[in-house]
Structure 1
Amino acid sequence: MNAVRRGLGNGVVQAFLVVVGLVWMTPLAGLFLSSLRSAEDTAKGGWWTVFSSPGQLSFDNYSSLLQNAGITQAFWNTVLISVPTTVLVVVIAALAGYAFAWLDFPGREAIFLVVVALLVVPVQIGLLPVAKLFGQLGLFGTIPGVVLFHVAYGLPFAVFLLRNYFAEMPKEMLEAARMDGGSEWRIFTRLVLPVGRPAIASLAIFQFLWVWNDMLVALLFADSSSQPLTVELQSQIRQFGSNIDVLAPGAFVSLVVPVVVFFAFQRHFVQGVMAGSVK
């Protein structure tokens, strides 16, 4: 009887999760179907009309999108912003996290307290001062300027996350490596990084998604030649309020890339999120 109850309970939970998944996927499916319809068909009815009139669907919008110089340039700008930012944040945070966790140097605890305190600083506070500084340095309106801002703002959380993860590693493991003659660099690259791969992958996913979907920082620090896809789509809305044949495929492309990145590193992401939850 208990087995029957457990089976029914699991069935209810699974059915509920299926319903939640379908509800969550509905806007994505609607966006994809809208991206395959012409502006005239969109003006006549909602995306669900494709089930009764499948002839509306075509890839003409995507062909036009690839020929749109502004959209394609913005897409590559997004890649040039997101990838270097993610790599720099992960590399710097991994080095700093290992130093804060296992190296003894003057002021370590005080410096780490400053890093933790920076977690509560809102991004809006630094926009105007940094914009003025970038203007003086000639970085305002450039891709390197946007990358530097994202790196600086993403490092406190990244260092905090990796330091706590590295600190949970067994001390005996690192001491044994030192006794065998391993240098700190060798221990870091050959021992700490492989063990910390789940946390590093989780951090990379978080950082990439945040930068890829960002519009506030890019809206202020990027100009027309360096603006990412989010800003370009926003400008399309401002200039042409009804050009759904451009906005829908552009938004879907902008959405697909983070989803692909997430599923590519899903296994490491789950391990990193669950790390430390069970002793």
Structure 2
Amino acid sequence: MSGALSGKTALVTGGGRGIGRAISERLGRDGARVAVHYGRDERAAKETVAAIEAAGGHAFAVRAELGVPGDAETLWAAFDEQAEGVDILVNNAGTNKAVDGTLQRIGEVTTEDFDHLFAVNTKAPFFIVQQGLGRLRDGGRIINVSTGLTRGAAKPELIAYAMTKGAVDVFTSTLAKDLGPRGITVNAVAPGAVDTEMNAGWLRGEANTEARQRVGAISPLGRVADPTDVGDVVAFLASDDSRWVTGQWIDATGGALL
């Protein structure tokens, strides 16, 4: 498939579901060969690979659980088995939940919860980038997925999660300065609430109609975001059209912070 990213290789962490799947499929449609990373959901990753290939693109799955010792090494070893070098690295994988799967305010967060969130959302991207620099070609792209929670949309039940993404924001701007001489741009995309499987429990179905209307009303555009709304922003940052944009925090909340 020819397109703006023809001849490029992309790695999308958490690329099999939700926003990650939308990113993977869009990059695939733009011509990139996409490494769809997953931690546990092999079925979703393979479905995403199949969808990209059915649309005429090229993709392969890469497994590595993040947030555990040796995660970056495992990821790159799996990647190296199927590709040589990378042009676009999207740090999308993340979690906003504690170890027990709940959202927690400060009084409920344990040290285990705190360490888990930072291990997946902050430490993993840091070392994935660190160990990927030798594989990342000059003129490449690094795109980190942040959140609108770091710029004014504070939610007490997501305090530790927001802190992990605040660190990612600093990582983004500092890394942009460090890698600029190589022509590598580094940017962060910050979504708000998005209609994904992760949010299905409170955002989908008749029982959640009121919540969906309330969330949609936060945006001047009057609706809840679809994963493709974020994926298309990432595609711009992955393309040559964004060559003069680096170190930026891109608001992809649909104007929810206005």
Taking structure 2 as the reference length, the TM-score comes to 0.26
* Structure with more helix by fraction: 1
More relative contact order, 1 or 2 (CA 8 Å, 6+ apart) = 1
Taking structure 1 as the reference length, the TM-score comes to 0.25
Task: Report the structure number with the largest CA radius of gyration.
Answer: 1
